[in-house]
Structure 1
Amino acid sequence: MTKLIQIEGLHYRPDDLPKDQPDILRGIDLEVDEGAFIALVGENGSGKTTLIRQINGLLQPSAGRLRIDGLDPQDPYQIHALRSRVGLLFQNPADQIVASTVAEDVAFGLENANLPSREIQSRVTAELEAMGMAQEASHPPHLLSGGQIQRVALAGILARSPKILLLDEPTSMLDPLAREAFLSQVIDLHRQ
């Protein structure tokens, strides 16, 4: 089976961390096969978000080696290809909403990938329908609930068809009903 994520001896220490504090990540080894569904669990501040940001190339390791679908997140020439293959839903999805309407936001990543406008429209429509957000396509995102914003952000990620989907504490800002619905959607996505 193909290894989509390979991490060997990963360490991360921010420059501003006091010398008497240990590295945030220390000696992480991880392999994830294509098609796997995994969850990283741990206490607050244990490095889960830091590890996810390493995988997506948002943070650079202090030491160690990463290969994400064969790409090196530390190589600036490979970062664009990496980010087209890895979708990341932030812990606070409102932080990744950038447009004035729901449909424009879902289209944003596709437009930056220079896809034809018909393809963009088709993908936006399909993902908004899949997320149950088609009725809100022309709405401003700032008027949506937290759960709706999360679905818009996820629709924008899925419209790009990433090979790897990273969700950073995806249920932390949801009420129990929205949490159950979201987890059900994620499980359905994995089955597809």
Structure 2
Amino acid sequence: MNLKAKVLVAIMCVLMLSTSSYAFRFSVGGFGGLNIPIAQEDTESGTAFGAKARIPLMGSIAIEPNIVFAENGDASYDVEGGWNKTMTHEGGKYTSFGVDLVIGSIMGYKGFGAYGILGLSSSKFEKKGIPDLTKGTYWFGLGFEYGFTDQISLDVRGKAFIFPYKDDANPNGDDKGSRKNGLVTVGLNYYFGFTE
């Protein structure tokens, strides 16, 4: 383990030990839903699913390591010029590994809670016609959670996903925009741990 990793682990341990007793409630969960393109004419809505774990740090702050698989649907368009033909444009798919910072109601006890989300991830974009692209990506959004019990909760969230897109196949290209998607997902969380 390198020095940076050791320092990060030490800081996390200190933060966790300095929190109140309920901070030792962790959770794991899975989710699925829709991946909706934002301002993209070459793709349609697709599916998204993934898994996450929630690790409390202090008070109302937690981190969530996560993995997300998302795809855009294929877009169809009519060819102009009297060809009377419809073409299909592949939407592409993403694989993302990241960490979200969750701020708000994070403990998952019985009842309703809400929280904000800010995240960073490393994401791979795959689409026919261009090389696979791996970029640092950004997330932000809101989540709502309803605990059926102190262990099991329903989790509904909306997150914007920003992938800095550049056509690396064209060394002279100046496309420095981004591909933006909105993920709307529903999932279940299972909480475990202990309180004093």
TM-score range, shorter chain: under 0.3
Q: Which has the higher helix share?
A: 1
Larger radius of gyration: 2
Query: So what's the TM-score if we normalise by structure 2?
Result: 0.21
Normalising by structure 1, we get a TM-score of: 0.21
